[in-house]
Amino acid sequence: MTKQEELEKAVLMLEQQVATNKTMSATYQQELEYAKKQLADVNKPVLTGEQLDAINEAVEKAVGNFDFDDSENYHTEFELDYDAKVTISQFEFQSAQELIEAIVEKVQKLFVEAEAKSDNYS
């Protein structure tokens, strides 16, 4: 066997190993992603489909009942354009906390809060 044939054989073997390792790496990557998802979900409460639907409905009602048309919910700054047109230079929603509170209130009505366990050993 000549030196060139030995090198070609070595290249072929290494290419096969690289292909095998890529396949194994992809498998390990999928397994890693699945394990990460399981770890993230381990302490989450389990809800039924009906419960999730109830939460979605509560959020929709809270957002739907919020008055987005109320001008007091926005901070607006105007400026005079070069064409003597009045334009809005800044438009900011400033009632986010009220919206959050409305959503939280609707969602909390769906649950009963568990009492915290005390760790008093006296």
Q: How many Cβ atoms sit within 10 Å of the Cβ of residue 19?
A: 10
pTM above 0.85, yes or no: no
> In this predicted model, what pLDDT tens digit does every residue of 73-86 receive, in sequence order?
888 898 998 888 99
- Give the separation between CA 87 and CA 103, rounded to whole angstroms: 33
121 band by pLDDT with thresholds 50, 70 and 90: low
Residue ranges of E strands in the chain:
74-80, 86-93
> In this predicted model, what pLDDT tens digit does every residue of 45-75 receive, in sequence order?
888 888 888 889 989 988 888 888 888 888 8
pLDDT at 37 > cutoff 70: yes
Q: How far apart are the first and last CA of the chain?
A: 83
109 band by pLDDT with thresholds 50, 70 and 90: confident
pLDDT of residue 71: 84
Q: What letter would DSSP give residue 73?
A: G
pLDDT of residue 119: 61
Q: What letter would DSSP give residue 84?
A: S
pLDDT of residue 52: 87
pLDDT at 122 > cutoff 70: no
User: In terms of Cα–Cα distance, which of 44, 49, 94 is closest to 72?
Assistant: 94
Q: How many Cβ atoms sit within 10 Å of the Cβ of residue 106?
A: 19
pLDDT, mean of residues 24-44: 86
